[in-house]
Amino acid sequence: MREPELTASTIDIVATRDRVATHLVGREHELELILSAIAAGRDIVLEGPPGTGKTTLLRSIAEEWGIPLLFVEGNADLTPAKLVGHHNPARVLKEDYRADNFVAGPLLEAMQSGGFLYLEEFNRAPDDTINTLLSALAERQIAVPRVGTIVAQPSFRLIASMNPYDNVGTTRLSTSIHDRMCRLSIDYQDEFAELGIVDLRAQDGGRLGERLVADAVAVTRATREHPDLRQGSSVRGAIDLVLVANELSLLRGVSTAGDSSTRLDPDGDYPRLMFDAMVVALSGRIHLDEAVESTPERVLREIWEDRFILNPAAAAPG
């Protein structure tokens, strides 16, 4: 017996929204839009920088509905055979091509199980691989040579992601693809939401306290506005910054981030600790503009100076 369509009439999207929202910080609006598109039977492209909660949203929805979530990374090596599947070479030599020696790829797995296929960095996949998706998008089925036609379960969805800040090694998607998918832009969370995320993930700032969370979020957000950077860090950088700074404080014996006598002194223990932790946590996450002659460390030094020297009141407790 065929499963019922996954639509707003067969699921309680209000209850789903309310339950999923308890696991998220600052993504209620995007959750409603994604839920509406999926429940309406649409495939969707989520366009935004890394670390903005796209995967968390999808995983929470899939878990709530009991639907498999299959991840595929889009890159130049993602061939149609890797996406759709292939015949087992050893068995082909013994048995020739047969349907039962075909190894399904993630696209067929998602179609047959009624899961969500999450294709990250969608526009990094080769054109012929992306075009392989057209039949699954338009007809909800795909013809596989020597296997037959695979028809998708009703709950199958293609959900893709793209990073608008990165154009290196990307492919321009065809009008045929754009015409068959909805689109939602997901930008960085606001400061209040990021403070909540870091506070949650880094256990209230650890031994250095809540001021460390505020400083970590502030310098991380500053990387997104620095003129020498093409792309700054996501909130993941702030989380790692708090975690690294707390471990570094153990090694150096820095017990608090709230002592104003050290925080207003750029040579104090806490400010020095912060800069070193920033280099470890953020230098690999920021991307310099191609026309700029600088280094990640130099940019981070400027951001650190803005926070702790030029505007020390912003970094002062209270």
State whether 225 and 301 are in the same domain.
yes
Domain end (from 153, 185, 217):
185
The answer to whether residue 31 sits within a structural domain is yes
Closest CA relative to residue 38, chosen from 103, 125, 117:
117
Residues 218-263 have pLDDT tens digits of 999 999 999 999 999 999 999 999 999 999 999 988 876 654 444 4
HSE toward the beta carbon, residue 61, CA cutoff 13 A: 32
- Output the pLDDT for position 167: 65
Give the DSSP letter of residue 97. Answer: S
Q: How many domains does the chain have?
A: 2
Q: CA–CA separation, 217 vs 207, rounded Å?
A: 17
Give the DSSP letter of residue 222. Answer: H
The answer to whether residue 62 sits within a structural domain is yes
Q: List the structure tokens of 176.
A: 């045929």
Per-residue b or e along 31-51, where b marks 16 or more CB atoms closer than 10 Å to that residue's CB? beebbebbbeeebbbbbbbbb
pLDDT tens digit at each of 318 positions of the chain:
344 455 544 568 898 888 888 877 778 899 999 999 999 999 999 998 888 888 888 888 999 888 999 999 988 899 999 999 877 666 666 666 666 778 889 999 999 999 999 999 888 888 888 988 998 999 999 998 888 899 999 999 999 998 877 666 566 777 888 899 999 999 999 999 999 999 888 876 677 878 899 999 999 999 999 999 999 999 999 999 999 999 999 998 887 665 444 444 555 789 999 999 999 999 999 999 888 899 999 999 999 999 988 765 555 543
- Output the pLDDT for position 147: 84
- Output the pLDDT for position 5: 52
Lookup result for tokens 């321009």: 172
The answer to whether residue 252 sits within a structural domain is yes
Q: List the structure tokens of 235.
A: 């909130």
Written as one string, the DSSP assignment of 33-96 is: HHHHHHHTT--EEEE--TTSSHHHHHHHHHHHHT--EEEEE-STT--HHHHHEEE-HHHHHHH-
State whether 159 and 230 are in the same domain.
no
- Cβ-based neighbours of 46, under 8 Å, separated by 6 or more: 34, 54, 159, 160, 161, 162, 184, 186
State whether 160 and 238 are in the same domain.
no
Residues 194-212 have pLDDT tens digits of 999 998 888 766 778 788 9
- Output the pLDDT for position 312: 57
Question: Cβ(259)–Cβ(200) under 8 Å?
Answer: no
State whether 226 and 140 are in the same domain.
no
Per-residue b or e along 80-112, where b marks 16 or more CB atoms closer than 10 Å to that residue's CB? beebbbbbeeeeeeeeeeeeebbebbbbbebbe
The answer to whether residue 204 sits within a structural domain is yes
The answer to whether residue 263 sits within a structural domain is yes
Lookup result for tokens 């338009």: 138
For the chain, give the number of residues.
318
**Which CATH number belongs to the domain containing residue 151 in this structure?**
3.40.50.300
First to last CA, the chain: 63
Amino acid letter, 288? L
Q: CA–CA separation, 102 vs 276, rounded Å?
A: 52
The answer to whether residue 7 sits within a structural domain is no
Query: Partners of 231 in the beta sheet?
Result: 287
φ, ψ at 231 (rounded to 5°): -150, 135
Domain end (from 185, 202, 237):
185
The answer to whether residue 4 sits within a structural domain is no
Q: Where in the sequence is the domain holding 89, given as residue range(s)?
A: 13-185
- Output the pLDDT for position 292: 87
The pTM is what? 0.79
Q: CA–CA separation, 39 vs 26, rounded Å?
A: 21
Closest CA relative to residue 117, chosen from 147, 72, 63, 173:
72
Domain end (from 154, 185, 216):
185
